[in-house]
Amino acid sequence: MIQIVFMDIDGTLIPYGQTQVSQEDAAAVAKLQKQGILVFAVTGRCASQVPDLGFDGAISYDGACIQDKGKTILQGDFFKDRELETIVAQARREGHRIVMPGNTQDPVCRVLDLGGNRQLKIRRPEFLEDDTSAGELTEALAQSCFDKGMVTAQILKVLHIPPEASLAMGDGFNDMGMLAGAGISVAMKDAPAQVQACADYTADGVVEALQSAGLLKPPVLEIHTPQPTVAVRQDPDAEVNAKG
């Protein structure tokens, strides 16, 4: 039974080309919560840019910031001072503009090391070109050290929810660890082949993904069957008598 849903934002909850969450998807989030299912937004956006849908939790900065109902549940320094100085110096040498989003209400956080707790696997290798591609993807998943998958695994650990009771959906390369580590995973239909290979199945949007997982009921279509037309046959004798 699914207890928690991890939901990517851009390309999943908000399709590319759109700027807001649809009413249908917002209603889907609310329906999940009414069932007692936790819903976490998982995004590369900064925390202040997560849509205000009443999420039970928000994972932003691709996993660097974790918040529960607006409260930080795991916090620390994202960069050490010398690392930050190196990045800033390199950016200035190359003429890049530096943007540092965040304030006291929008913290940057560091997740804990998960060790060997992650159970990542390729779900559908047929989406990959050959065995070499599958091997490269497996290695990439194993070597990833700071991504959405690490953080969602940590959330499950903190909340005492087994991985098999989680559902994740996404569309990008930064979603692969999250998809590969969830009990049920759904990639969006426009996702790259490597991303789809990490998911159990593909869907066209959030609602279809939740319906396919059995968490939302598909709409009932009302079929109106036309009533058959009954031809009334005239009695020739009755017509003659009427004339006579």
Mean pLDDT, range 137-156, rounded to an integer: 71
Contacts of residue 143, defined as CB under 8 A and 6 or more positions apart, other chains included, come to none
Q: Which pLDDT does position 26 carry in this prediction?
A: 96
Return the ∠ at Cα 176 (arms to 175 and 178), rounded to 5°.
65
In the predicted structure, residue 228 carries a pLDDT above the cut 80? no
Length of the chain: 244
What pTM was estimated for this model as a whole? 0.69
Q: Which pLDDT does position 46 carry in this prediction?
A: 83
In the predicted structure, residue 224 carries a pLDDT above the cut 70? no
**Each residue of 172-194: pLDDT tens digit?**
988 988 998 999 999 999 999 88
**Each residue of 46-56: pLDDT tens digit?**
888 899 999 99
65-68/201-203 β-pairing: unpaired
pLDDT band at 211 (very low <50, low <70, confident <90, very high): very high
Residue given tokens 């759109």 in the structure block: 18
Contacts of residue 176, defined as CB under 8 A and 6 or more positions apart, other chains included, come to 137, 140, 141, 149, 194, 195, 198
In the predicted structure, residue 118 carries a pLDDT above the cut 90? no
Secondary element (H or E) of residue 25: helix 23-34
In the predicted structure, residue 103 carries a pLDDT above the cut 50? no
